[in-house]
Amino acid sequence: MPNLEPKACALLIVDVQKAIDAPYWAALGPRNNPDAEAAMAAVLAAWRGAGLPVFHVRHDSRSAESSYRPGQPGHAFKDEVAPLEGETVIGKSANSVFIGTNLERTVRAQGIRQLCVMGVITNNSVEATVRMAGDLGFETYLMEDCCFTFAKADFRGVLRSAEEVHALSLANLDGEYCTVVASPVILAGIAAA
């Protein structure tokens, strides 16, 4: 079980916006972790109950065609993880939330050394953010049941299922940039903290 330090630990919710439900994504094939939003909501409720810091990351796409572009309905957070008044929202336009934002400076100023990460999609913004968090020296935990992805063709054109893409992304990260855990492990860590 992770030894979560209440005064040094923050929850980072990456790009959980309504845009992820746009038809474009579904056209890629079925996603994995259909219960991810429910798991995210449970973690967020426990986090708030413990009074721990929460950072909501919002992708602010610069692409005119993107459902993540500001002003589009998809730009809004999904209801399950919508920020409450007073919770920090960080807009980003790159894959990693550490690029072009003040997140690193903000969390370091608050004495945060541990990051618990959840969001979408596993092999894109979640992976990019977790890689940078690890490289920057944060003790990082990625909740595998609180993120999801979609089917994707590999470099040779072979279509890989969402579960394969998700599992490989987790394998790339675990032990090198973070510790991959299931959300019940984090929930137990919050209860013990």
Per-residue pLDDT tens digits for 108-121: 999 999 999 999 99
Q: What helix, strand, coil percent values describe the chain, rounded to 5?
A: 40, 25, 40
Quick one: CATH architecture of 6-192?
3-Layer(aba) Sandwich (3.40)
- Give backbone dihedrals phi and psi of 89, rounded to 5 degrees, phi first: -115, 130
The chain-wide mean pLDDT, for the chain, equals 94
Q: Count CB-CB contacts under 10 A for residue 80.
A: 16
pLDDT in tens, 64-93: 888 898 988 889 999 999 999 999 999 999
6-23 average pLDDT score: 94
Structure tokens at 178: 């973070």
Domain ranges of the chain: 6-192
pLDDT surpassing 80 at residue 45:
yes
pLDDT surpassing 90 at residue 3:
no
What's the pTM value of the predicted model, to 2 decimals? 0.95
Q: Count CB-CB contacts under 10 A for residue 54.
A: 20
Model confidence band, residue 9 (pLDDT cutoffs 50, 70, 90): very high
Model confidence band, residue 29 (pLDDT cutoffs 50, 70, 90): confident
Burial 84-116 (b: 16+ CB within 10 A, else e): eeeebebebeebbbbeebebbeebeeeebbbbb
Specify the higher pLDDT residue, 23 or 158. 158
